[in-house]
Structure 1
Amino acid sequence: MRLDKFLKISRLIKRRTLAKEACDNGKVTINEKLGKASDKVEVGDILSINFANREIKVKVISSGLDLVNPKPEDLYERLN
């Protein structure tokens, strides 16, 4: 699944356009590398999102493709 779409359906970022902008501005890393909106998210990846006043680090536990209306706790595990 695309990184920007994963951020939206996991509710880490509210809208897909905001997720794309965050990726374009270098605020999202995937496995310690800068993430582009089109990067593929796999199970086991570590995502780090740098907001203005805090950083969120999560581990992907499900891609969400096989779930109908997934809940955030079904998609990722928060690391900090």
Structure 2
Amino acid sequence: MSIESVEDSSLFGKPSVDPEGVVGKAAASAHDTVDKAAQRAQSAFDCAHDYIDQAVEAPRNVIRDNPVASVVLALAVGFLWGRLGASRD
């Protein structure tokens, strides 16, 4: 077999993939499946992000609404924590 005949063969020439054939339909189906999975993942990420934002804002709102009680509670917790740590020594 000569070099010219190898270059002219269908194996090394332009690929003969029919976009409307089985391979094209399978590729389109796989692409649609990946797109749907990406949309669902983005939706789940957005829901989780919103939930985390709400969880972070809740303590901030309580502290803003009750600043004196928050400081007293923080001092009491610190005092108790210090006493528990001192009693172990």
* TM, length-normalised to structure 2: 0.20
Q: Which has the higher contact order (CA 8 A, sep 6+)?
A: 1
Q: Which has the larger radius of gyration?
A: 2
When you count helix as a share of all residues, which structure comes out higher?
2
* TM, length-normalised to structure 1: 0.22
